[in-house]
Structure 1
Amino acid sequence: MNPAHPHTHQHVRHDNDDSDGLAELLDLDAEVLAEHTASLLAWLPLDTGPRQVVDLGCGTGAGTFALLDRFPDAYVTAVDASAAHLRRLRAKACARGLEERVRTVQADLDDTAWPDLGTPDLVWASASLHHLAHPGRALAAVRELLAPGGLFAVVELAGFPRFLPEDAPGDRPGLEERCHAATDRLQAEHTPHRGADWGPMLTAAGFTVEGRRTVAVDIEGTRSEAVGRYALAGLRRIRGAAATALGAEDLTALDRLLDTTGPHSILRRDDLAVRTERMVWAARRT
């Protein structure tokens, strides 16, 4: 996963260890955005609940468990490149008594040949496709995978969420936007499809796009204590990516926010929010 853009729950490329805290970030992302994920699933144009579902780039299982909750008769094949994340997902499934409804498969979605993923009625790919070097090839593979008439749901964030007010922190207003600008410049060449309109690519791959929706995310920090931990985990990863591109004063201010023992800790703020947009495309195999 691109460390400058650690937004989500489902990813295709990352190391098997979790020394950078990505698994924690994915779990927090799942917790904080759970209601929005559920609303996207409810919006999908499905006449009947799917029985076989594939979650591409599943990460630690945010989409997988939302799919299982939404479709109680479904079985989900969870696919990711990270063995560590798949182990974490499997442990969650066992703890929830869902192990019989989940199959985990380790695979790199940029490989030319994918393992057998069955013939799903629904394929879900959230925050994973923009990491691919060859998305057109992957979209074609999904089309071949799907059952006739099956649905492909592509979900992306407009960008990693913003947490701080624009005038924060007081001594370095606009710090968060400068951090994002720095990471965007550094990582643009590695994730050229971030922010793409997947509609034309889906059409070119032989799908009929039946719907597109943009959902504004604006969750006040007072609604969930997880928002503070989510902000902390996200900004820690952004610091790792942007450190060499930030000025000394910005870096010092960022470190004050990340110091959980200090008076300026982001965990002590009462003005946090989660602000971004999620886009979803629903495409039918024709």
Structure 2
Amino acid sequence: MAEQLETQAELYTPLYERALAWIGKEVTEPGLIVDAGSGPGVISCLFADAFPGARVVAVDGSGELLERARSRAERLGVADRFGTLTGELPQALDDLEYPADLLWASRSLHHLGDQQAALSAFADRLAPDGTLALMEGGLPMRWLPRDIGIGRPGLQARLDVLEEERFTRMRTELPGSVDVTEDWPALLTAAGLKHTRTRSFLLDLPAPAPDRARAVVAARLGRLREIVGDGLDAEDRATVDRLLDPQDPASVHRRTDLFVLTAHTVHTAVKPH
């Protein structure tokens, strides 16, 4: 999944850049930025570019992904103020040398069983007046019209239902899983933070999508076929298989109506001084 994660994050860069610019209106000169659950470090390096006076630490449980992050930082010329920390969240944050002025968690929180406890741990690692920025929620990615000319219309909506069910199962199977109402500003406030803000950011790549968007869509659809395909009926499975076949004119590799449209939501809050 490493290459797929990196390629998708690169495609989403315009969305992330707008999110960072919005955060930067409140967080002006951070000394330490922590990317909690950084993956291959695409967003970590965007932080290094957006805040040239800051040191950035990418934290992740995967050493392979962090190696990619270090290589990216070297390629982009920010390695002198870029570090990594390997370990599981939130415990790995205990190894930070000093508190963070900005802690960013991009869709990493929902992989932790007790999300409220994790948010409190994130808040504990903030400096006074430090900001926690949480990317959770938004809208599912869309990449084709409702009626694509093959199979039954509404395929993506049916895939969404199966993916939501799988996500719910994933959450219940996490160690120490605790159900919470996903009212993120309320959860941030319960973690002792204040001044919550929320804003959503759009990625809109109209048809015909560029080749790298096609690659991301094909990888994502292939992943969905693998993990939720058994929940589809025979007709939908056949449609997905055609969409994934590079030789089929109706596939995502060759269609002229392929686009990418999605939205991610960011919530921020500040640690009291």
Structure 1 residue corresponding to 2:36, chosen from 32, 36, 56: 56
Q: CA deviation at 1:255?
A: 1.0
Q: Quick one: which of 13, 21, 34 aligns to 1:42? A: 21
Residue 243 of structure 1 corresponds to which residue in structure 2? 229
How far apart are the structure 2 equivalents of 1:65 and 1:224? Answer: 23
CA shift for structure 1 position 161: 1.1
Instruction: Give the 3 Å change call, closer, same or farther, for CA 271–54 of structure 1 in structure 2.
Output: same
- 1:97 correspondence with 2:83: no
- Cα contact 1:221–1:227 (8 A) shared by 2: no
1:166–1:106 Cα change, 3 Å: same
TM-score, with normalisation over the residues of structure 2?
Answer: 0.89
* CA-to-aligned-CA distance 1:205-227 (integer Å, 9 cap, x gap): 00013321123333214363321
Identity %: 35
User: What SS does structure 2 have at the residue aligned with 1:170?
Assistant: coil
Deviation at residue 195 of structure 1 after TM alignment: 9.2
The answer (yes or no) to whether the contact 2:34–2:103 under 8 Å persists in 1 is yes
Structure 1 vs Structure 2 CA RMSD? 2.2
Give the aligned partner of residue 18 of structure 1. none
AA aligned to 2:189 is T
- CA apart distance, 1:189: 2.8
Counterpart position of 1:115: 95
Which of 5, 9, 24 is the aligned partner of 2:3? 24
Preserved CA contact (<8 Å) 1:77 1:117 = no
Query: For residues 228 and 113 of structure 1, do their structure 2 counterparts lie closer, same or farther at Cα, with a shift above 3 Å needed?
Result: closer
Which residue in the other structure is 2:175 paired with? none
So what's the TM-score if we normalise by structure 1? Answer: 0.85
Matched AA of 1:33 = Y
Taking the aligned partners of 1:47 and 1:87, their CA distance within structure 2 comes to 28
Residue 238 (structure 1) shift: 0.9
Q: Please list, as runs of the form range in 1=range in 2, the aligned pairs for 1:151-166 lying within 5 A after superposition.
A: 151-166=131-146
Question: Residue 199 of structure 1 is aligned with which of 185, 207, 210?
Answer: 185
| Structure 1 consecutive aligned stretches of length 4 or more whose deviation exceeds 4 Å | 110-113, 192-195
- Higher relative CO (Cα under 8 Å, sequence separation at least 6) belongs to 1
Q: Is the 8 A contact 1:75 1:102 kept in 2?
A: yes
1:163 and 1:275 in contact (8 A); partners too: yes
In the other structure, the counterpart of 1:232 is 218
2:58 aligns with 78
